[in-house]
Amino acid sequence: MNCIKDLSIFVIDDDPVCHELYRQYLLNMGLARVSVFGMGQQCINALTCQPDVILLYHHIAGTDGLEVLKK
């Protein structure tokens, strides 16, 4: 399905190795609109982009993952 490849995905994880692995995996699946963030506040600031899917690690540095989820 081509509509899945048009999804905008945010990946939030404070471990650069993990979020890069997720990003690369999603890109390899053909998803082109993948944004990665190392801090919750960065994600909150970018929510105006209205992502379709957010992959959120709950123990991130700075703004807690549950706070990001509430936003």
- The Cβ-side half-sphere exposure at 28, using a 13 Å CA radius, reads 6
Domains of the chain, CATH where assigned:
2-70 (3.40.50.2300)
% pLDDT > 90, the chain: 45
CA 44/CA 59 separation, integer angstroms: 16
pLDDT value for 4: 76
Amino acid at 33: R
- Residue range 19-48, pLDDT digits in tens: 899 999 999 999 989 999 988 888 889 999
